[in-house]
């Protein structure tokens, strides 16, 4: 299991680097940064940059303040923090307490269960009720496109893991079956980084920080200044439920 986790970490790192080179994400980010700096009407000092970085970390990363609806924000935070706890406790238990000679503290499996349940609650809530093509466009929640690879493999991995843990605790004959499903789904989750939205968790903070800097230096990503107009037209008038 230790070897497996190391391989999964390498797959995430390798997949992210491959996607960065293949799609030119880093080149785009730095080019955009230079353009924003050159077109800005004012300079942003080092102190301001640090302040903007802290704001990005607190608002855009830790609290997901960019989401426009409360339920989407809550679902995202549940999934994100659940996944962090779930992965962290998995690594601690596998590397820190690998044998019966070093019994695992009781709170670690409990945290593992809590993290997995948070992922399932937030993930299934998002999948069946919050997705734009479901809630706003009226498509079936069972309609699947390639962009859904990340969330589906995440839910499959965590769900299979929780079922496996439950069956193992009960001594079920199906334990090995769900262990196999758990490993397959987890391999798909971490091995599909170049083709899923997994790596966006690394790019998103950088993009949010660049946006704050462009607003601070006056370039505003080449967008016009905001205008104070009453919210009377378009999607601001009513919820987009026209199906």
HEC states along 199-223?
CHHHHHHHHHHHHHHHHHCCCHHHC
Q: How confident is the model at residue 227 (pLDDT cuts 50, 70, 90)?
A: low
- At 231 the pLDDT is 53
Q: How confident is the model at residue 224 (pLDDT cuts 50, 70, 90)?
A: low
Residue 202 above 90 pLDDT? Answer: no
Residue 13 above 70 pLDDT? Answer: yes
The residue ranking higher by pLDDT, 44 or 160, is 160
> Which residue's entry shows tokens 């970390």?
57
Sign of CA dihedral 102, 105, 106, 110: negative
- Residues 99 and 85: their CA atoms lie apart, in Å, by 22
Q: Is 190 exposed, middle or buried (0-12, 13-18, 19+ CB in 10 A)?
A: buried
Among 21-25, 54-58, 167-171, 233-237, the range scoring the smallest mean pLDDT is 233-237
The residue ranking higher by pLDDT, 240 or 85, is 85
- At 242 the pLDDT is 53
SS (H, E, C) 135-159: HCCCCCCCCCCHHHHHHHHHHHHHH
Q: What is the CA radius of gyration of the chain?
A: 21
- pTM here? 0.80
Give me 196's structure tokens.
Answer: 């899923």
Give me 223's structure tokens.
Answer: 């967008």
pLDDT tens digits, 63-101 = 888 777 888 899 999 999 999 999 999 999 999 999 888
The residue ranking higher by pLDDT, 87 or 237, is 87
Residue 235 above 60 pLDDT? Answer: no
- Residues 203 and 182: their CA atoms lie apart, in Å, by 27
- Residues 243 and 231: their CA atoms lie apart, in Å, by 23
Residue 236 above 80 pLDDT? Answer: no
């Amino acid at each position: 299991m230790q070897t497996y986790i190391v391989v999964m970490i390498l797959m995430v790192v390798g997949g992210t680097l491959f996607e960065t080179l293949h799609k030119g994400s880093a080149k785009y980010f730095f080019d955009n940064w230079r353009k924003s700096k050159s077109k800005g009407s004012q300079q942003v000092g080092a102190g301001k940059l640090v302040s903007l970085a802290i704001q990005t970390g607190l608002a855009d990363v830790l609290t997901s303040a960019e989401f426009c609806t409360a339920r989407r924000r809550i679902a995202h935070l549940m999934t994100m923090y659940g996944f962090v706890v779930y992965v962290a406790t998995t690594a601690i238990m596998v590397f820190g307490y690998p044998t019966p000679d070093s019994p695992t503290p009781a709170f670690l499996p409990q945290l593992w269960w809590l993290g997995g349940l948070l992922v399932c609650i937030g993930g299934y809530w998002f999948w069946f009720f919050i997705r734009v093509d479901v809630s706003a466009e009226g498509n079936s929640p069972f309609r699947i496109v390639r962009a859904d690879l990340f969330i589906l493999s995440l839910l499959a991995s965590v769900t299979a893991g929780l079922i496996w843990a439950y069956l193992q605790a009960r001594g079920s004959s199906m334990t090995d079956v769900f262990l196999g499903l758990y490993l397959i789904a987890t391999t798909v989750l971490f091995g599909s980084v170049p083709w899923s939205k997994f790596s966006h968790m690394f790019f998103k903070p950088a993009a949010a920080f660049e946006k704050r800097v462009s607003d601070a230096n006056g370039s505003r990503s080449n967008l016009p200044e905001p205008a104070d107009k009453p919210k009377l037209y378009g999607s601001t008038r009513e919820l987009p439920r026209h199906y």
